[in-house]
Amino acid sequence: ASGSEENDVVVIGGGPGGYVAAIKAAQLGLKTTCIEKRGALGGTCLNVGCIPSKALLHSSHMYHVAKHSFASHGVKFSSVEVDLPAMLAQKDKAVGNLTKGIEGLFKKNKVNYIKGYGKFLSPSEVSVDSLEGGNAVVKGKNIIIATGSDVKGLPGITIDEERIVSSTGALSLKEIPKKLVVIGAGYIGLEMGSVWGRLGSEVTVVEFAPDIVPTMDGEIRKQFQRLLEKQKMKFMLKTKVVSVDSTGNSVKLTLEPAAGGDQTILEADVVLVSAGRVPFTAGLGLEKIGVETDKAGRILVNERFATNVSGVFAIGDVIPGPMLAHKAEEDGVACVEYIAGKEGHVDYDMVPGVVYTHPEVASVGKTEEQVKSLGVDYRIGKFPFLANSRAKAIDDADGLVKILAEKESDKILGVHIMAPNAGELIHEAVLAMQYGASSEDIARTCHAHPTLSEAVKEAAMATYDKPIHM
């Protein structure tokens, strides 16, 4: 289909923001076209982000427990080996199935899909350079920019995706590096560092800031770092990377204390640059139609996702806010609901964040530091997985649940969980908070035994009373 007839909605970008917006628009009866330049739907998340990283985290975890924990459960092998090409192929299969699945959803919902690079000709016209050759003009009453984000480079470091890699290269290394240096202790660096560390790499994480994952609750973060160190991940915090030289046999990083001082050299086989992500709007022609961006290049929108140019909207990683797939999806649905004349809604205080290491770390709402800075009187309820029967039964008991509740009303302000499957456990807390529950509401809700979720109930008890099992 050419898309030359006027659409109600044109979406530029087929990532979690864009493809979800397109499907929702079509479901609401709007004639919709989605333009994607990658040749596959699903954006960063499905192709080079959430999905392939979780596939490798799972596979590498299976190897690690087979090698280090099975024997203590009475399961013995003569040997356990990594078959890296097979591991990477399983990841690629998962990605391929899921991206094709979205194409199927487009067909089912009658979303017109154009493979090509979109750029604005006017606020209601997009020129598309088709991947198959040729060019078309796509018209839309409403145009949604969902062009996402890209890897943030570091000055003086050239990413070759072989020895100096971004997260994309780190998802497809051909060999297990002996020494891997990760620049940046955000969640992507820690997840990819965990994958290769489990497969046998010696992993050193270099971070300019004094702490890993700055958005995390301080107490949880400290315990989390200790657990990663127990897994042999090394941290060099408050350390600046001055230069990276990949001309020799190994890659040499010149480091310096963040506050200044003597330089040191660190050698690596592979360096992962994971210093964050930046909004992607290259070649889109924003200047041409006058769409406003902030200093970081993010597109500015109002609470209805409208830019300063009438009929042009933006969602997902390309606008301010947490750069997360589920946040992009929520943006997409709400934006389209507004366009269709309905009410949309995204509660940015209730967007959960998960680090998919082992154990996982998941949180929603405020950290203790944030609660303190608001000057709210609060109570803390904590429960360690060491006292949780299921965690003990499966011999996987590192971590805790921490609940922060307002002292006066017992309203839940924030929940932080470090545990196996914390990314699944957190949704009980998200739902409770979304409905304005008190901590006692969770504590008085019956939880099945024996489950990891019982630790959430016990931590909730501990905010206003005593837990039973501690």
Q: Does 269 bind ligand FAD (CB under 6 A)?
A: no
* Residue entry with tokens 């993010």: 298
Burial call 328-350: b when 16+ CB within 10 Å, e when fewer: bbbbbbbbbbbbbeeebebeeee
Residue from 24, 31, 38, 390 touching ligand FAD (CB under 6 A): that is 38
Crossing angle for the helix pair 84-109 and 50-68, to the nearest 10 degrees:
140
CB atoms within 10 A of CB 269: 18
- The residue range among 44-52, 214-222, 256-264, 358-366 that interacts with ligand FAD, by the rule CB under 6 A, is 44-52
Residue 390's SS3 state is: helix
Q: Does 53 bind ligand FAD (CB under 6 A)?
A: yes
Kindly state the DSSP code that residue 177 receives in the 8-state scheme. Answer: -
Closest CB to ligand FAD among residues 236, 272: 272
Of 113, 147, 193, 121, whose CA–CA distance to 358 is shortest? 193
Residue from 3, 49, 169, 193 touching ligand FAD (CB under 6 A): that is 49
**# of chain residues touching ligand FAD (CB under 6 A):** 36
Q: Tell me the per-residue interface mask from 61 to 100 with ligand FAD, x by CB under 6 A, - otherwise.
A: ----------------------------------------
- Is 449 in the active site? yes
Q: Does 140 bind ligand FAD (CB under 6 A)?
A: no
Which tokens go with 265?
A: 């050299």
Residue from 9, 10, 11, 12 touching ligand FAD (CB under 6 A): that is 12
The answer to whether 398 touches 418, Cβ cutoff 8 Å, is yes
The answer to whether 255 touches 164, Cβ cutoff 8 Å, is no
Q: 103 a known binding residue?
A: no
Q: Tell me the per-residue interface mask from 175 to 214 with ligand FAD, x by CB under 6 A, - otherwise.
A: -------------x--------------------------
Q: At a CB cut-off of 8 Å and minimum separation 6, what does 47 contact?
A: 38, 40, 95, 99
Which residues are at the interface with ligand FAD (CB under 6 A)? 12-18, 35-38, 43-45, 49-50, 53, 117-118, 146-149, 167, 188, 280, 283-284, 316-317, 323-326, 328, 356
Residue list, annotated binding site? 54, 118, 147-149, 184-191, 207, 276, 317, 323-326
Active site residues: 449
